[in-house]
Structure 1
Amino acid sequence: MKNIFAAIDIGTHTARLLIATVDADSMRIKDIAGSRNYIRLGEAWCNEGDVVLGDAALERTVLAIKAFSEIIFGFDVCSVRAVGTGILREASNREEFLDLVSKRTGIRIETISGEEEARLSAKGVASALGLGDDPFFLFDLGGGSTEFYLQAEGRSETTSLPIGAMRMKRRFITEDPPDRRSVEMIESYVEECVSKALGHMKLRKSTVPPVIGTGGTVVALACINKGLNISQISRESVNCLPLERIRVDGMLEEFASMRLEKLISYKGLDAQRAEVIIAGAAIVSTLFRLLDKNSISVSMSDLLDGLILESHGGKRYER
């Protein structure tokens, strides 16, 4: 019988579960089950002061993990690895928060660095898309941060920047719908952060390899563009979907003109992602421009896949 593995990601906006097996020959993942809950830890963000995760955030996280546990118990899972990303790296009461979660759920969450998150995401993407040694540039847009991974010319580079969709929404968007100035402020902030990072990675526009985007916002934009309903979204239907710059710019303009109550019912957009889709689309639009790309590929496979692969005993993904 094949070994079955479970991976959990506790992020800034969502908690996610993947249960899967791994083909030992191809090192490809076969999904068995998965789940997602919106835990909205990013509500703890404000413009000044420490990030403190409150009781409501704790309850949402505990309920999400308990729901995941019920799913996991339905399978003969040989290992469970749970990691914390995004806001959990910054919360001043992180250890107390995670201790309470562990005591109430029996699952211990390991907080990983942004660089480790980038590496694991790249491992999952490379396996799912069959990239091998091909050069690529990956960005993983989350609620609290965006991770970057470059594979090119026999080297790899990773970095993590504080430009997540929920973080940008909480910092810059105060009106519904947002005024144009709010969106421009997000774009300006992202440009400043990313331009410096690209310089440190020694990456110029003329040398950017094929770009792959992952993360909830990127997947949502690709699915809306493709006309997929939420029930049709899966790794099989999403991986390798193209996403064009002109379409992202158009969606950003459309979304920014809509009130949240209309966005919630937008076809293909999860109602609980609607709150951050404008900020997220502004980030993606800016990345297109900075990387000088007219089209990217999208991957739904990501960090969770990388965790599964390493639980299986696959080699660390590094060059």
Structure 2
Amino acid sequence: MLRRVSAIDIGSNAIRMMIADISGHPSPTIQVVKRFRAAVRLGHDVFTEGIITPATMDIAKATFRRYAETNKELNVEVCRAVATSACREAKNRQDFVDEIFKNSHIPIEVIDGTEEGRLIHLAVRKELNLDNKRSMLIDIGGGSVEVTFSDGDKMTATKSFPMGTVRILENLTKRQLNEAHLNIIMGEFLGDLGEHIYKNCDHDPVDFAIGTGGNLECLGKLKVQLLNAAPHSFLTLSELNAIIEKLKTFKVKERVEVLKLRPDRADVIVPAAMLVQTIMRQAEVQKILIPGVGLRDGIAWSMLTK
């Protein structure tokens, strides 16, 4: 029997919703009905002022009212909404959760990095066959990066790092630096990141990396667009290096006008690409798969298992 659910991911760069039909019999399936995205950059407020400002709160409330109406129109039975890095750190996060519920009757769970990693891993293992493989999952968000290790389809370690793309941009702005100085910012996180990677893959190397998040899907498409290479479902490290060099030749405005990137993707795509590059180099992996699933898919799967 099919149940219609909606999964909402309240990230640092956007608020995304996916509506899907789920079934546990005869075998578990999820059929995506529709995906939505609202460019509400909670991270801009939180990483500069420590709170979600009234103006952004109003945009988020309007987004959730719209999502609640959509749930009603499309006969959604259950909705699960989770908030990640920006909301976790906002001093007024409880006000945000209360206001959204008052306006939309959608309850929000603020989850930690471990639960975020678990949900993303759940989505990935439903999409890819991980049997007899050691893999490293990289989720690039606006506020944080989750790096998860897996033996087969069993998650063995996950850690969240406060080095998401929006946070990096705000860090650059605050220090009056620009994209050319990204290596300085990256370098400040390398100690913790390197330790996590070394601990989990030095004695038992990973077979491949897996990348999730909108920026990784965008990098897959840019491989086709900029390098004239297919398919968009994976990147080699050398392809990623080439994409970064080409992207650096475009100003943010040109990425919007020439490459047709959304404005809230155009300014974070180089930090995202360099984060992936850094992690792949540290782990000495040459290939990253891009399965096209993410946190929303994991949330939907979690509703099926419940």
Q: CA deviation at 1:132?
A: 5.1
Name 2:54's counterpart in structure 1. 55
Name 1:235's counterpart in structure 2. none
Instruction: Check if 1:313 corresponds to 2:275.
Output: no
Q: 1:298 to 1:92 in 2, by over 3 A?
A: same
Q: 1:294 to 1:134 in 2, by over 3 A?
A: closer
Name 1:40's counterpart in structure 2. 41
- The answer as to whether partners of 2:233 and 2:289 remain within 8 angstroms in 1 is yes
Can you list the C-alpha shifts for 1:42-70, whole angstroms capped at 9, x where unaligned?
112457xx611101220221122222223
| Residues 72-81 or 188-197, more deviating | 188-197
Name 1:246's counterpart in structure 2. 238
Give the secondary structure class of the aligned counterpart of 2:275: helix
Q: CA deviation at 1:197?
A: 2.0
Alignment: residue pair count: 301
Measure the CA separation in 1 of the matches of 2:279 and 2:260.
Answer: 23
Measure the CA separation in 1 of the matches of 2:240 and 2:29.
Answer: 30
Can you list the C-alpha shifts for 1:100-134, whole angstroms capped at 9, x where unaligned?
12111211111001000000000011102243564
Measure the CA separation in 1 of the matches of 2:115 and 2:96.
Answer: 21
Q: Which residue of the other structure, out of 283, 294, 309, is the alignment partner of 2:286?
A: 294
Give the secondary structure class of the aligned counterpart of 1:167: helix
Q: 1:209 to 1:144 in 2, by over 3 A?
A: same
Q: CA deviation at 1:179?
A: 5.1
Across the aligned residues of Structure 1 and Structure 2, the Cα RMSD in angstroms comes to: 2.6
Instruction: Check if 1:183 corresponds to 2:182.
Output: yes
Give the secondary structure class of the aligned counterpart of 1:72: helix
Q: CA deviation at 1:174?
A: 6.8
Q: CA deviation at 1:272?
A: 2.2
- The answer as to whether partners of 1:220 and 1:268 remain within 8 angstroms in 2 is no
Q: CA deviation at 1:78?
A: 1.6
Q: CA deviation at 1:291?
A: 1.5
Instruction: Check if 1:270 corresponds to 2:269.
Output: no
- Tell me which amino acid in the other structure corresponds to 2:274: A
Name 2:163's counterpart in structure 1. 163
Q: CA deviation at 1:251?
A: 2.2
Can you list the C-alpha shifts for 1:232-252, whole angstroms capped at 9, x where unaligned?
xxxxxx998111212222222
- The answer as to whether partners of 1:115 and 1:160 remain within 8 angstroms in 2 is yes
Q: 1:45 to 1:81 in 2, by over 3 A?
A: closer
Q: 1:291 to 1:26 in 2, by over 3 A?
A: farther
Measure the CA separation in 2 of the matches of 1:12 and 1:311.
Answer: 23
Q: CA deviation at 1:176?
A: 10
Give the secondary structure class of the aligned counterpart of 2:257: coil
- Tell me which amino acid in the other structure corresponds to 2:164: G
TM-score with structure 2 setting the length = 0.89
Measure the CA separation in 2 of the matches of 1:72 and 1:205.
Answer: 48
Instruction: Check if 1:13 corresponds to 2:13.
Output: yes
Name 2:191's counterpart in structure 1. 192
Q: CA deviation at 1:193?
A: 3.1
Q: Which runs of 5+ in 1 are unaligned?
A: 229-237, 315-319
Name 2:202's counterpart in structure 1. 204
Q: CA deviation at 1:189?
A: 2.7
Q: CA deviation at 1:14?
A: 0.7
Give the secondary structure class of the aligned counterpart of 1:171: helix
Measure the CA separation in 1 of the matches of 2:118 and 2:179.
Answer: 36
